[in-house]
Structure 1
Amino acid sequence: EETTLKRVTPEFFQRHSVAELATWSDKDIGKAGRLNHPMLLDEGATHYREVSWDETFNILAEELSALGSPDEAIFYTSGRTSNEAAFLYQLFVRQFGTNNLPDCSNMCHESSGCALTETIGVGKGTVTLEDFEKADSIWIFGQNPGTNHPRMLTALQKARKNGCEIVAVNPLPEAGLLGFQHPQHPLDMIDGGTRLATLFLPVVINGDVALLKAIMKAMLEREDATPGTVLDHDFIAQHTQGYEDFIADLRAEDWAALLDKCGISRAEIEKAATLAVNSKRMICCWAMGMTQHKNAVGGIQEIVNLLLLGGHIGREGAGACPVRGHSNVQGDRTMGIWERPKAEFLDALKAEFNFEPPREHGYDVVECIKAMHEGKAKVFFAMGGNFLSATPDTDFTAQALRRCNLTAHVSTKLHRGHLVTGKRALILPCPGRTETDLQNG
């Protein structure tokens, strides 16, 4: 769709009413073309109409100025927003006076940020791409690289050819992990390519905590049999806390209960434990197969525990790797797109830009939907993304958006969120990162 020559012009909206467009499939809406002009849906109108940029900005200023409090506005961010745009966006929002900066990370990797911050002190991954070439084992939990992160397959293929063991943990087998044929390497088509996963563990849905505890319990039993040869006690003593309580909890776990909860045999658990014990440079990756459970934070913390037992944090070729879905969701958070900013970040904004940023935490995605639904938030502004379709309860979210005075979207293409609106709605067209904005040419 990014390379399409189709354009959604003002004439397009003259031909098609909002009600008609709402009957289209999401695919047909997205395939309509690229947006190229600001559009306004007046209160009670059936069609969007063309407006100038000056009128667009005046409407935004009018609605924002009419609010009783800056906290009555929501400023959502998509992970496709660039670092530069994200920084300026959050600066504008905080100068306006609110921390209502929910983003798509609230719905995908917020549990990763929580789990990592509570365990290792930073809510981001600890590895680089170069680390994948140096790892001797890579563990992939709840992630389908071939389907959702295909570029990662090249890194995994290089690692496997270097002798790295790859463990796939997923209820269903992922074709890309079972065998990868590099599309730019013709010989792969002849010899069948590279078998990536050396061990596949078909865990039952949400059985990851039990599986991880079972693997670590097996490691502990080997440590008991040959003390000092399995776990990295120097690292544990110098860089961790709560080890004794953690070990006591592992000892208290019943083997039969763990195996029943994870659905993996004892023999397969022992194979995984052998790989973990032998690994000197382990990387653990995970995606939304881990993050979307009610106990997601606990599951990710168990991944961190597995890494800590072997001293695999702060070591070359080892570490934690939450695999994001959007192209810049982590960069946006680093730039300040967060409803719960740290005091140090706000202090830095104050010193650099000479204003007092708001200190009260803002709404995350779920909280902002509830606020709109309850009439506590009256303006919704989205920097990219498709908020309506991305949120978990589409009908409830639609009701919430319809209760706003204004909904506004910065978008490259048409999506269903433009058709479920507040009393008034704005579409602000934006070129994609590979496009050039040609005007009067």
Structure 2
Amino acid sequence: MNIETILELNMKVKKRSVPGVHPYDGPAGGWGALKATAIAVRTQMDTLEAPPTLLRTNQPDGFDCPGCAWPDKEHKSTFQFCENGAKAVTWEATSKRVTDEFLAANTVSALFEKNDFELEGYGRLTHPLTYDAVSDTLKPVSWEAAFARIGEILRSLSPDEVEFYTSGRASNEAAYLFQLLAREYGTNNFPDCSNMCHEPTSVGLPQSIGIGKGTVSLEDFDSAEMIISIGHNPGTNHPRMMGTLHELARKDVPIIVFNPLRERALERFADPQSVIEMATYSSTNIAS
């Protein structure tokens, strides 16, 4: 029994029904990606607002996509976003709102039973919230009341006892103001989620390769004679990389993949910006 047969049997054993996940035999990208993007836009955003918002994604006069950090070598296309990026933008710019009525009708215990996808589908919060233990619900409060409560807690602690934790996805302007507040308060203790995520990298990589970050640049792909992909899933985590891998595969650059998860994008990918592949419903084999 070869390794491929073993992996297929293992996948069949572990296969389980997941809500919203269905068998899909087509390539990654292509018309399937466009359909998924259209559904996300239709269900989350105003139809008139969506096109100009998406067209500003990853553009010099627009904003960086919140989906991933894949860089731009040059802005040569009007459409500088992928399916995941479009979904991330629509979820950020959604017209859905969590109402006071929703909060009153749903206990925190009930909300804990929801998955992340369901919770995000309810929309954006519009008020500061406080937990009411008697009713087990979240109740809206005014911004003044929220700031007063935060100030009360901060004044009761010394600066060294407080951690100003924030999101690595915050804008530069928001991050600047947040760290300015922390420094005025008297501390520089403000790690963000990127710091927490990459701390193993910054500690482990110097011990193995001598530097704590990536050692390649986007231009290195242009002269690469072989790509070795070990345990990463670009089609899921940073799909814009698929454009680069697609280009290399079309140039017959070998792409060797080591991954027990057979991600479809690393098998077959249809570039939504390829007129030929879209018109002929064809795709390109990525893994050699």
TM-score band, normalised by the shorter chain? 0.5 to 0.7
C-alpha distance in 2 between matches for 1:91 and 1:141: 40
Distance 1:196 1:89, change over 3 A: same
User: 5 Å matches for 1:367-406?
Assistant: none
SS at match of 2:249: helix
Alignment partner of 1:34 out of 124, 132, 143: 124
C-alpha distance in 2 between matches for 1:124 and 1:83: 21
Q: Does 1:109 align with 2:198?
A: yes
Instruction: Quote the residue 2:110 is aligned against.
Output: 20
SS at match of 2:92: coil
Alignment partner of 1:8 out of 86, 95, 98: 98
C-alpha distance in 1 between matches for 2:181 and 2:211: 26
What is the CA-CA distance between 1:43 and the residue it aligns to? Answer: 6.0
Q: Which amino acid aligns with 2:120?
A: G
What is the CA-CA distance between 1:192 and the residue it aligns to? Answer: 3.4
Q: Does 1:135 align with 2:209?
A: no
C-alpha distance in 2 between matches for 1:171 and 1:13: 42
| Mapped contact 1:7–1:34 kept (Cα < 8 A) | yes
Distance 1:165 1:25, change over 3 A: closer
Q: Does 1:181 align with 2:270?
A: yes
Q: Deviations over 1:259-302 (max 9, x none)?
A: xxxxxxxxxxxxxxxxxxxxxxxxxxxxxxxxxxxxxxxxxxxx
Q: Deviations over 1:85-133 (max 9, x none)?
A: 2233233324433444343335543222223444666533233333323
Instruction: Quote the residue 2:249 is aligned against.
Output: 160
Instruction: Quote the residue 2:51 is aligned against.
Output: none
What is the CA-CA distance between 1:60 and the residue it aligns to? Answer: 0.7
Identity %: 47
Instruction: Quote the residue 2:58 is aligned against.
Output: none
Q: Deviations over 1:286-340 (max 9, x none)?
A: xxxxxxxxxxxxxxxxxxxxxxxxxxxxxxxxxxxxxxxxxxxxxxxxxxxxxxx
| Mapped contact 2:107–2:135 kept (Cα < 8 A) | no
SS at match of 2:270: coil
SS at match of 2:276: helix
SS at match of 2:216: coil
Distance 1:169 1:90, change over 3 A: farther
Distance 1:122 1:77, change over 3 A: farther
Larger Rg: 1
C-alpha distance in 1 between matches for 2:135 and 2:189: 29
Q: Which amino acid aligns with 2:151?
A: A
| Mapped contact 1:40–1:49 kept (Cα < 8 A) | yes
Q: Does 1:88 align with 2:177?
A: yes
C-alpha distance in 2 between matches for 1:44 and 1:117: 51
C-alpha distance in 1 between matches for 2:135 and 2:149: 16
SS at match of 2:214: coil
Instruction: Quote the residue 1:71 is aligned against.
Output: 160
Distance 1:18 1:2, change over 3 A: same
Distance 1:25 1:116, change over 3 A: closer
C-alpha distance in 1 between matches for 2:133 and 2:187: 27
Distance 1:76 1:45, change over 3 A: farther
SS at match of 1:24: coil
Q: Deviations over 1:153-190 (max 9, x none)?
A: 00111123334322212223322112211123242253
What is the CA-CA distance between 1:143 and the residue it aligns to? Answer: 0.3
User: 5 Å matches for 1:337-376?
Assistant: none
Instruction: Quote the residue 1:52 is aligned against.
Output: 142
C-alpha distance in 2 between matches for 1:27 and 1:176: 22
| Higher RCO (C-alpha under 8 Å, 6+ residues apart) | 1
| Mapped contact 1:19–1:46 kept (Cα < 8 A) | yes
SS at match of 2:175: helix
C-alpha distance in 1 between matches for 2:113 and 2:269: 40
Distance 1:87 1:4, change over 3 A: closer
| Mapped contact 2:266–2:287 kept (Cα < 8 A) | yes
SS at match of 2:165: strand
C-alpha distance in 2 between matches for 1:51 and 1:102: 28
What TM-score do the two structures reach when normalised by structure 1? 0.40
C-alpha distance in 1 between matches for 2:197 and 2:257: 20
- Bigger fraction of residues in strand: 1
| Mapped contact 1:138–1:164 kept (Cα < 8 A) | yes
C-alpha distance in 2 between matches for 1:92 and 1:122: 32
C-alpha distance in 1 between matches for 2:207 and 2:188: 22
What TM-score do the two structures reach when normalised by structure 2? 0.59
User: Where do 5+ consecutive residues of structure 2 fail to align?
Assistant: 1-90
User: Where do 5+ consecutive residues of structure 1 fail to align?
Assistant: 199-441
Distance 1:73 1:8, change over 3 A: same
Aligned residues: 197
SS at match of 1:139: strand
Distance 1:74 1:130, change over 3 A: same
Alignment partner of 2:285 out of 171, 175, 195: 195
C-alpha distance in 2 between matches for 1:133 and 1:110: 30
SS at match of 1:180: strand
